């Protein structure tokens, strides 16, 4: 529109309206393209463990509207934990027991729990049966899964934490801080 205005010595009201319409159409096209496809329950377990964690997080985010408020808070917490867990899984061998545990917890148990809850009719979710309601069962179970995800993340990070402590200790010894008299140790 600016180039046409400079070349033609102005574009007039018609040019301004055409430019605005073109901008609205462009915004509509770009906002609807490309959309991320939300994984289905069956497609969650495909791929490596890190991909599984990412897909489960997207799937879980899509389930939020069907969950009670306390469970939504836990889902938010689990989402953050899954982000951290995904980073820990980078380069992890799939045959390691921790990877199998993550697959089972994040690929089977968590989605299975949420899908079982969402299969209960809405009007029955808050009714107490056997001492507590499905809402309470879901919230309690999500809390346990959150605790377990935290435990697995800590287990996977323990090697890196130990390596950092060893490096820090070495640097203290090598460049100061370990000796009381302040002299530097030579190799």
Over the stretch 19-59, which tens digit does the pLDDT of each residue have?
999 999 999 888 877 666 777 777 777 878 888 888 899 89
Over the stretch 99-156, which tens digit does the pLDDT of each residue have?
888 889 988 999 999 999 999 999 888 888 778 899 999 999 999 999 999 988 888 8
pLDDT for residue 177: 64
Question: Quick check: 85 pLDDT over 90?
Answer: no
CB neighbourhood size of 72 (10 A): 16
Question: Quick check: 94 pLDDT over 80?
Answer: no
State pTM to two decimals. Answer: 0.68
Is the previous residue joined to 155 through a cis bond, with omega within 30 degrees of 0? no
Contact yes or no for 50/103 (Cβ under 8 A)? no
């Amino acid at each position: 529109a600016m180039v046409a205005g400079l070349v033609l010595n102005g574009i007039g009201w018609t040019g301004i309206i055409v430019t605005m319409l073109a901008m609205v159409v462009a915004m509509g096209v770009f906002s609807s393209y490309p959309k991320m496809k939300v994984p289905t329950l069956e497609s969650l377990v495909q791929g490596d463990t890190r991909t599984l964690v990412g897909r489960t997080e997207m799937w879980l985010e899509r389930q939020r509207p069907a969950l009670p408020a306390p469970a939504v808070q836990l889902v938010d917490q689990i989402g953050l934990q899954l982000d951290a867990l995904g980073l820990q899984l980078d380069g992890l061998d799939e045959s390691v027991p921790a990877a199998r545990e993550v697959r089972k917890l994040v690929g089977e148990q968590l989605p299975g729990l949420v899908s079982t809850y969402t299969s209960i009719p809405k009007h029955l979710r808050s009714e107490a049966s056997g001492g507590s309601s499905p809402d309470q069962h879901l919230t309690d179970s999500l809390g346990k899964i959150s605790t377990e995800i935290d435990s697995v993340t800590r287990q996977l990070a323990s090697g890196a934490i130990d390596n950092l402590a060893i490096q820090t200790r070495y640097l203290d010894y090598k460049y100061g801080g370990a000796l009381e008299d302040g002299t530097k140790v030579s190799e």
